[in-house]
Amino acid sequence: MTGILRVDSYNQTIQAIRNATAQAGLGYILRIQDKKETMVKVNNKDVEGIATSFLKGMGIQVFTPDGYTGFASTDRIEPLIAGNLVELACKLAKKVQEKQGENNKAIYKLSPTRERSILKLKYPYGSLDLNEIEKRLKEVNSELTELDPRLSVRTVFRVVDEEWRIARQDGTDSSFMTPRSFIYNIFTAKERGKTITTDSNLPGSDLSILIQPDLVRKLKIKSIAAAKLALNLLTARPIKSGSYKMVVDYALAKGLAHEAFGHAAETDGMESSILGKNGKMRLGEKVAADIVSIVDGPLEGDYAYQPISANGIKRETVHIVKDGILRAGLADLFSAEAAGVPLTGAGRVETCHFLPLARMSNIRIEVKDPVLVEKEFEEITPEIIYKKLLHSGLIRENEEVLYLTGYQGGQVNPASGKFVFNCSGIYRLGETALLYQPAIFSGNVLSALNSIVAGIGPLKTDAMGTCGKMFQGVPSSGGSHYFLLIDKNPEITIGGEIDE
């Protein structure tokens, strides 16, 4: 693709690294990062802070001919320090060899690639005056703050302009952009000694989230719903703990895909993953209901978009599960072969100062023959969901069904297959839905996906988050149909309390 990137200017440094590693007889992966970002925070109508930051640096991972590896990184991208950096990384690699540590020669089996991914953003970083950004955010915040005197509202906006360049000893030299943005509203409702916090968000890749009327409107509808939820939760009771038939929204479905499945499908953990056996991925096994597929891959314009891996390999869109059968893993350079799956370019890294790990990008659950829904997701109330389920014959009248809304993050132990995620609120569905306090949703990887009964509405894949693994956080996103219906299963439980 044509166009100029800031990382194009580091040719001399790349050449110096190439010379230094060739002289030392080393293989290498060089990662150059150039990031700038702006963050604006508005709290209860006033600007709390505007902060700008930059990150320019490079990290070099060297490999001895026997595959022992060491890594050195710096905030200087200069040809003059290339020799010193290579020498340091080499010294560390030799220490691993001396201690008879792990070696991996996968780096020497790759073919060179020269990928270039430049996105044409509608409203890129810097295209809107900061005063205008501030003004628009204050408007968003003020309008929400005035909804109710019991509410306080904090608005956080972040826009990131990030570029990467990855080079290897085989001649690979790939460059790409990973732009992202979000607006995040946090609502705190306080009354008579009770405090409840909820949130709403709108992710994107540029400043469109502040400018495009349809996006501004979408955030407003989501935010009003989150604000009302916080207020209503002040008087909500805890739900009785146990197993239920449940509807989850697409953001929670993203949590289900991400926590209950995605992490277990990452090949760098296959030796102990519930989806592995003797280190190999259990390909061909039935792991979900026949109607369920799980897909992970980069989507242009998405918050977690990354077209090329941190090891310089093109990121593939992967059908991890197709029609209920485990088909592929999220495989990075160093673990694909051992896991017995094709390399899919899943290596991601937080900054150039870290080592890449196998990670998800945008993960979504797709269900065959979803129930059609005409309305926008943001317009659908719990009562509308109830009617839709009834009319579709998916539930009986007066059947006990819970609706979980608002993803609050999750966690998994890929070795045991236990996962949890949390919601903002729980409704007992009916002609009039009854609200309960949020409670933890917990289950087992291998039983959860078998319990998906139906998808409701079209696919929606913009549920955003930050995924933490081995002390690194990277943007993540995903989704599903507007809603998923999950059958009652004793292995899937809602926390809550013993009695309502």
* One of 416, 432, 458, 500 touching other proteins (CB under 8 A): 416
Q: Using CB under 8 A, which of the segments 110-118, 191-199, 286-294, 483-491 binds other proteins?
A: 191-199
Closest separation between CB of residue 300 and other proteins, Å? 28
Is the Cβ of residue 417 or residue 455 nearer to other proteins in the bound state? 417
Question: What does the chain come to in residues?
Answer: 500
- Binding residues for other proteins restricted to 131-190, rule: CB under 8 A: 134, 152, 154, 186, 188, 190
CB of residue 90 vs other proteins: minimum separation in angstroms? Answer: 11
Radius of gyration from C-alpha coordinates of the chain: 24
Query: Would you count residue 434 as binding other proteins (CB under 8 A)?
Result: no
N- to C-terminal Cα distance for the chain?
59
**Does 88 participate in binding other proteins (rule CB under 8 A)?**
yes
Q: Is 24 in the site for other proteins (CB under 8 A)?
A: no
Q: From CA 203, how far away is CA 495, in angstroms rounded?
A: 29
Which of 338/371 has CB closer to other proteins?
A: 338
> What DSSP character marks residue 86?
H
- The answer to the question of residue 472 lying near other proteins (CB under 8 A) is no
- Contact pattern for other proteins over residues 218 through 247, marking x by CB under 8 A: --------------------x--x------
Q: CB atoms < 10 A from the CB of 137, how many?
A: 20
Interface with other proteins (CB under 8 A), residue total 86
User: Which of 340, 438, 475, 479 is the binder for other proteins (CB under 8 A)?
Assistant: 438
**38 forms part of the interface with other proteins (CB under 8 A):** yes
Residue number, 367 or 423, with CB nearest to other proteins: 423
CB neighbours of 369 closer than 8 A, spacing ≥ 6?
A: 291
Per CB under 8 A, contacts with other proteins among 262-321 are 268, 271-272
Query: Which token pair is 227?
Result: 């604000």
Tokens of 54: 């930059």
Give the residue ranges of DSSP H helices in 99-161.
130-145
The SS3 assignment for 350 reads coil
State the nearest-atom distance from the C-beta of 30 to other proteins, in Å: 14
Among residues 11 and 416, whose Cβ is nearest to other proteins? 416
Q: With binding defined as CB under 8 A, does residue 201 bind other proteins?
A: no
Angle between helices 213-233 and 130-145 (to 10 degrees): 40
Cβ-in-10-Å burial (0-12, 13-18, 19+) of 235 comes to exposed
State the minimum distance, in angstroms, from the CB of residue 271 to other proteins: 5
Q: Which of residues 57-76 bind other proteins (CB under 8 A)?
A: 57, 59, 61, 68-76
If one asks whether residue 22 binds other proteins (CB under 8 A), the answer comes out as no
- Residue with token string 């205008």: 132
Piece in contact with other proteins (CB under 8 A), picked from 176-184, 194-202, 295-303, 380-388: 194-202
Q: Please, what is the minimum distance in Å from the beta carbon of residue 312 to other proteins? A: 14
Judged by phi (left if over 0) then psi (alpha if -120 to 50, else beta), residue 45 lies in left
CA distance 155 to 258: 26
Q: What residues between 353 and 392 interact with other proteins by CB under 8 A?
A: 353, 355, 357
CA–CA gap between residue 305 and residue 108 (Å, rounded):
27
Strand partners, 277: 280
d(CA 30, CA 65): 17
Using an 8 Å Cβ cutoff, are 136 and 198 in contact?
no
Measured from the CB of residue 412, what is the shortest distance to other proteins in angstroms? 7
**Residue 341: strand, helix, or coil:** coil
Stretch that binds other proteins, among 19-27, 286-294, 297-305, 420-428 (CB under 8 A): 420-428
